Structure 1
Amino acid sequence: MSVRVSGKHMEIGDSFRQRIEEQIGEAVAKYFDGGYASQVIVEKSGSRFSADCKVHLDTGIVLHAAGEANDPQGSFDAAAERIEKRLRRYKRRLKDHHAGNHMNGHAEVAYTVMDRIPDEADELPEDFAPTIVAESSKQLKTMSVASAVMALDMTDEPVLLFRSPGKEELNIVYRRNDGNIGWIDSTNIKN
C-alpha cells in the first residue's frame, strides 16, 4: 500500500503529500479490501495545474484518472473524485457479477452498416509514410468480454486487446465516438 507522489515543474509540500496519501488510502479502503500501489503526478503547465492518478489494485485492475484546475489541490481533488467514482463502479460491478445478475444466453446487439469510403480516398501520395507516435508492449490477459469492458471503463485507454477464455482468440473492446463501447471478436473474422 504505497502512494508515490511527485511534481513536475513544482515542489510538493509535506502537508499536500500527506493529504494525497490519506485521500487515496481512504478512497481505496472504502471500496476495496486488498492491497494497492498508487502514483500521483501533479504538474504545472502555465497558469494551470493537472493531476494524474493511477491506482494498481492487487486484483490486476489499473484505475486511471486526471484532473485540471487553477491550483494543485483542486486538480488533485478532481482526479481523486474520478478515482473514487471508478472504484465505486468496480465494486458495484463485482457485486453484480457475483450475485448472478448478468444475462445468460444470447442477446440482441445493435449494429450499424456504413458505406465504404470512395476509392479516391484510397489513393495516397508515393512519399506517404505514417509516423509511429507511440509504441508499447503489454501482456495480454485472458478475460471475458464483460471483464474487458469493465477494465476498459476503469481506465482512460481507448482500446483494450485481450484473449477470450477457452478459445484463446484475440478480441478487442474499444470506445466509440458516440460514447458506446464496441467489441471485435476475431472468431467471426473470415479471410
Structure 2
Amino acid sequence: MRYQISGKQIDVGEALQLHVRTKIDEIMEKYAARPTSAVVLFSRIAHEFTCEITVHLSSGLIAQSRGRDSEVYIAFGQSVDRMEKQLRRSRRRLKDHYATRPLPVELLAGSSYILAPIEDDDEHESEDNHPTIVADMPTQIPSLSVGEAVMQMELADAHVLMFQNEKHGGLNVVYRREDGNIGWIDPRNSGL
C-alpha cells in the first residue's frame, strides 16, 4: 500500500510516520481487503492537532476519519479508532462488495461549487439573481448501487452522497436524516 503522510504547520518525523504505517497496516489487514493507498494529513491550529486519514480501497470506495487533540499521537489514535470502527461495522458488506464487484467503481467527472452566502445587499449577487461562485473544483461521482452508496457515505463519515444509480444511470442522493435514519432521493421513482 502506498502512503502519503504529510503535515501542515507540523513536522512529521520518522517515528510518527512509522507509527502511522504500523497502525494502519494492522487495521487494513484485519478489516479491509485490497487497500491501494492511504493519505494521512496532520495539521496544527494553535494548540490543537488534527489528523485526517483517507484510505482508498481498490474497489473505488474510500474510508475517511478525523481526530483532534492537544497531543499529535492522541489525535492520530482517535482518527485510527474511528476508521477501525467504520471498517468493523462494514466488514461483511465490504467482503460482499468485493465478491459481487470484480471491477473498480466507475467514476463520472463533475464539478463542485462553493457559493458565497446570500446577504441582504446586492454586492454578492449578479443581475440575474444567481449567487456568486467563490470556488469551482473538479469532483468525481461514483456509479454505485444504493447499498454501496450508503456504505460509502458511512465509510467517508459524510452527511450526504450523490451517486449514479447503477440500475438506471440516473443521479441519486443518500443522506443522513436528523432522526438518525438514512434518506434516499431517486427522482426517477417520484411518480410525477
In the alignment, which residue of structure 1 is the partner of 2:138?
137
State the TM-score, normalizing by the size of structure 1.
0.77
Unmatched runs of 5 consecutive residues or more in structure 2: 100-118, 126-130
In the alignment, which residue of structure 2 is the partner of 1:154?
155
- Aligned residue pair count: 167
Shift of 1:180: 2.2
Q: How far apart, in 2, do the equivalents of 1:46 and 1:125 lie?
A: 34
In the alignment, which residue of structure 2 is the partner of 1:13?
13
The 1:165–1:65 alpha-carbon spacing in structure 2 relative to 1, beyond 3 Å, is same
Contact 2:65 2:82 in 1 (8 A): yes
Q: Percent identity?
A: 37
| Bigger radius of gyration among the two | 1
Contact 2:59 2:98 in 1 (8 A): no
* 65-74 or 164-173: bigger deviation: 164-173
Unmatched runs of 5 consecutive residues or more in structure 1: 100-123
Deviating 4+ runs (over 6 angstroms): 96-99
What is the root-mean-square deviation of aligned Cα atoms in Å?
2.4
Q: Which amino acid aligns with 1:183?
A: W
| 2:142 match: secondary structure | coil
Write out aligned runs for 1:85-124 (5 A): 85-95=85-95
In the alignment, which residue of structure 2 is the partner of 1:54?
54
Q: Deviations over 1:140-166 (max 9, x none)?
A: 322211111111111133221112223
In the alignment, which residue of structure 1 is the partner of 2:40?
40
State the TM-score, normalizing by the size of structure 2.
0.77
Q: Which amino acid aligns with 1:2?
A: R
The 1:174–1:136 alpha-carbon spacing in structure 2 relative to 1, beyond 3 Å, is farther
